[in-house]
Structure 1
Amino acid sequence: MPATPSPGRVGDVRRQNLALVLGWIQGRGGATRAQLAAESGLTKASVSSLVADLLESGLVLEANVTRDGERGRPGTGIVLNPARGALAAEINVDYLAVGVLDFTGELLFHETRERHNRGSKPADVLSLLVAMAQQAATKASGAGVELLAGELTVPGLVDAERNVVLAAPNLGWADVDLSEELPTLLPDAPFGVSLSNEANSAALAELWFGHGANHGKSDRFRDFLYVSGEVGVGGGLVIDSQLFAGPQGHAGEIGHVVVNPDGPLCACGGHGCLETFAGQDAIYSAAGIEQDSNTGPMALLLKRAHDGDDLAVSGVEQAGRYLGIAVASTARVANVSAVVLGGHFEALEEWIAPALRRSLDHFAPGLIPEGNVAFSGLGRTGALIGAAATSVRRILGNPYELIP
């Protein structure tokens, strides 16, 4: 009978220390060997050995870095290698997207293709997305960036362990097994391709690069609800600067919080969900806008709202009112006092923000302070950035896979 592995084995300790050192390098934007030894608590000899392995793996580079508070010539520091990166792919109801993020957190390029995916067969959608991913990988290679991992993010509940889309009502998908299709997005990636929920990915992007990011800002949000507005409405919960997904990974589904028990049927099978009042289709309908308009429904909605069209403005304000009900209820349960809105809520900020504020003040006075209603600045790239950044962190958390 084989012996049970001991958590204190030399190999296990070295794996942990490699990840520890990489974490310090990422968090500091680069550090000298002396700084890494001082901050990690490891000996200088251990740090030098670990850094040598990381340099050989290609995950890090040597560069001149300035020591905080010190004068003189910059020291030789260790930084993450910008020639390494990750791919992100997104399936949404009305578009497909791919993007490449390097290890410094820069979105090198991305592509979005408008497409009606509702009711489409998963195989048909994946074949198109694979072609887009291949083009992105070719561009990355041409720019000298090696892609080590990828992530596909979708607007629905997922089982990330089994690579199964459990339910994506607005796509018409249920129990879709993608375990064979995912690797085809990036066949040669040593860390493979994972699966995630679109709103959770966007929430992580907001945490790491937006209102939750620690860039010396005293007003950053450590606890917040992220709300994603697309054809559906999704959400992600961030607690103590960590994504809280719940025991099955489905926490934060604010789009299916009931805001009107007598409301219309939702794609999830329930009635009166927030999505039936604040999703794109619901807003267009309330604003009297035909979705087959040649101008494009969102462009037309924005034009009419800017022109002061009563029906357009009231349709957006209705969405803001019901959004306030859902945010107030969720914030009370989750004990958060900030909300960040993305997707079409960001585009409609001028009209939806006052309506949301009035709703919050009416239903939950004082719960969400005035300055704690924010709108994401990441636009449509939020979910892509979050998905790719998750892959980067997955790599950095397990660098031993690349150590020769």
Structure 2
Amino acid sequence: MSTARLEDRPAPGRVGDVRKQNLALVLRNVQPGVQTTRAQLAVETGLTKASVSSLVADLLGAGLLTEVGITRDGERGRPGVGLALNPLRGALGAEVNVDYLGVGVVDLNGNLRFQETVERHNSGSSPEDVLRALRLLTRRAADAASDAGILLLGGGLAVPGLVDADRNYVATAPNLGWTGVELSGELEALLPHSPFGVTLSNEANSAALAELWYGQGASFQAYLYISGEVGVGGGLIIDSRLFTGPAGHAGEIGHTVVQPKGPKCTCGGHGCLETFAGQEAIFSASDIGDGPTGQRMAQLLAALAEGDSRALAAVEEAGYYLGVATATTARLMNVAAVVLGGHFSLLEEWIRPALQQSVDGFAPGVVAPDAVAFSDLRQTAALMGAAGSSLRRALANPQELVP
């Protein structure tokens, strides 16, 4: 009677499907930055050692794994050859925001190997003009990756708006002035001929995932991510997965109404969180004049450090309304943690007290002080999340790379 394990027995006619699943299974058990061995993978996956050896050979050939030296599984037995995710495979991350363009290269171990951000006034510019400028940056990123010996498997583009990723379609991005924009050709041109192409995502959703994979969100299984830029975006992580709702637009906290009689918002409504906590709202309330965003933020931080009353009041008001929106979302979605990125992380010292006081007042005991985190990724979060999503597509579909 055969002693082969059930998981090693493919159903008739489905050998390819089983091998595809097993290739991905092996990869799921290789953690970024951590060495393992074939013997360890056999134990962790439940596959036979012979099957694991064959699968690893394919993954080495695909360039997703690399051999890294000699390791020991224990005190007895022969040493094994170490295995790790290949740092010479990566993905491109790109972001279009209202006042800047950003690109980066993230390798399979989650390391940001290259990053560039350029201030650019994109609001009101045509998508063609913006993507043309972005292509110059992505070419530099691709060249930097090539110089470092990194093969780019694919990429992702994050934009601040409601998107349909399946159609490469931006339904609306109010702060950019885009409505009904189809980007298939532009996405392909960002990284031509890459195995997994370039996909479109919402900026805040990508940043929320970056926090889960590479940042503060790793401490929480469920949290609300709030992105502070010219506007305010949001993403929801539930059970360590991005929750986007039926149409993919859940988490748009920036357009949660926090003051019904408040100012008009770019979305057409009134009193949205964005009108109190967005960059422009804080700059205006602080009496910070026009100019490049980086310069204006430096002026705001200097004013706060000097104890300027208008700047302090503006940031305190932003924190108060952030607390209103956070308390409402925390109760509605049953999340007990929040991670704040973008300009909120720069303003942590001054905005945290008002935020926490507001949350405690509207939702006592729901979000504890140690469950309020501020991002260390800052302006790289969205592009790292976009790149990370591309890498996970590659790891879930390794058969596409097997020679």
TM-score with structure 1 setting the length:
0.94
Question: Does structure 2 conserve the Cα–Cα contact (< 8 Å) formed by 1:31 and 1:65?
Answer: no
Alignment of structure 1 residues 5-404 onto 2, 5 Å:
9-26=14-31, 29-64=34-69, 66-67=71-72, 70=75, 75-213=80-218, 220-292=219-291, 296-404=295-403
Q: Which ranges in structure 1 are unaligned for 5 or more consecutive residues?
A: 1-5, 214-219
Q: 1:3 maps to what in 2?
A: none
SS at match of 2:31: helix
Question: Does structure 1 conserve the Cα–Cα contact (< 8 Å) formed by 2:32 and 2:109?
Answer: no
Residues 299 and 8 (structure 1 numbering): CA distance in 2 closer, same or farther, change over 3 Å?
farther
Q: CA deviation at 1:30?
A: 2.9
Q: CA deviation at 1:119?
A: 0.5
Aligned-partner Cα distance in 1 for 2:259–2:338: 21
Question: Does structure 1 conserve the Cα–Cα contact (< 8 Å) formed by 2:33 and 2:85?
Answer: no
Q: Which ranges in structure 2 are unaligned for 5 or more consecutive residues?
A: 1-10
Aligned-partner Cα distance in 2 for 1:50–1:21: 8
Aligned-partner Cα distance in 2 for 1:304–1:44: 63
Question: Does structure 1 conserve the Cα–Cα contact (< 8 Å) formed by 2:33 and 2:109?
Answer: no
SS at match of 1:261: coil
Question: Does structure 2 conserve the Cα–Cα contact (< 8 Å) formed by 1:205 and 1:389?
Answer: yes
- Runs (4+) off by over 4 Å: 65-74
Letter in 2 for 1:38: V
Residues 195 and 295 (structure 1 numbering): CA distance in 2 closer, same or farther, change over 3 Å?
closer
Deviations 1:217-274 (A, max 9, x none): xxx2111101000000001111111111112211111001000000111111111100
Question: Does structure 2 conserve the Cα–Cα contact (< 8 Å) formed by 1:30 and 1:65?
Answer: no
Q: CA deviation at 1:42?
A: 0.9
Letter in 2 for 1:331: A
Residues 295 and 357 (structure 1 numbering): CA distance in 2 closer, same or farther, change over 3 Å?
closer
Letter in 1 for 2:25: L
Aligned-partner Cα distance in 2 for 1:279–1:7: 58
The percentage of counterpart residues that share the same residue type is 65
SS at match of 2:195: coil
Question: Does structure 2 conserve the Cα–Cα contact (< 8 Å) formed by 1:149 and 1:189?
Answer: yes
Aligned-partner Cα distance in 2 for 1:266–1:294: 20
Residues 295 and 174 (structure 1 numbering): CA distance in 2 closer, same or farther, change over 3 Å?
closer
SS at match of 2:268: coil
Deviates more, 1:239-248 or 1:58-67: 58-67
Deviates more, 1:55-64 or 1:102-111: 55-64
SS at match of 1:382: helix
Question: Does structure 2 conserve the Cα–Cα contact (< 8 Å) formed by 1:317 and 1:355?
Answer: yes
Aligned-partner Cα distance in 1 for 2:221–2:318: 26
Q: CA deviation at 1:27?
A: 5.8
Aligned-partner Cα distance in 1 for 2:343–2:23: 41
Letter in 2 for 1:113: V
Aligned-partner Cα distance in 2 for 1:67–1:241: 32
Aligned-partner Cα distance in 2 for 1:204–1:321: 26
Q: CA deviation at 1:153?
A: 0.5
Q: CA deviation at 1:74?
A: 5.5
Letter in 2 for 1:358: Q
Q: CA deviation at 1:67?
A: 4.9
Letter in 1 for 2:150: V
Aligned-partner Cα distance in 1 for 2:70–2:378: 32
Question: Does structure 1 conserve the Cα–Cα contact (< 8 Å) formed by 2:138 and 2:190?
Answer: yes
Q: CA deviation at 1:77?
A: 2.1
Q: CA deviation at 1:287?
A: 1.1
Letter in 1 for 2:334: N
Deviations 1:120-165 (A, max 9, x none): 0000000011111111111111111111101001011110000001
SS at match of 1:246: coil
TM-score with structure 2 setting the length:
0.94
Q: CA deviation at 1:73?
A: 8.1
Residues 203 and 38 (structure 1 numbering): CA distance in 2 closer, same or farther, change over 3 Å?
same
Q: CA deviation at 1:64?
A: 2.6
Aligned-partner Cα distance in 2 for 1:35–1:80: 15
Aligned-partner Cα distance in 2 for 1:13–1:199: 35
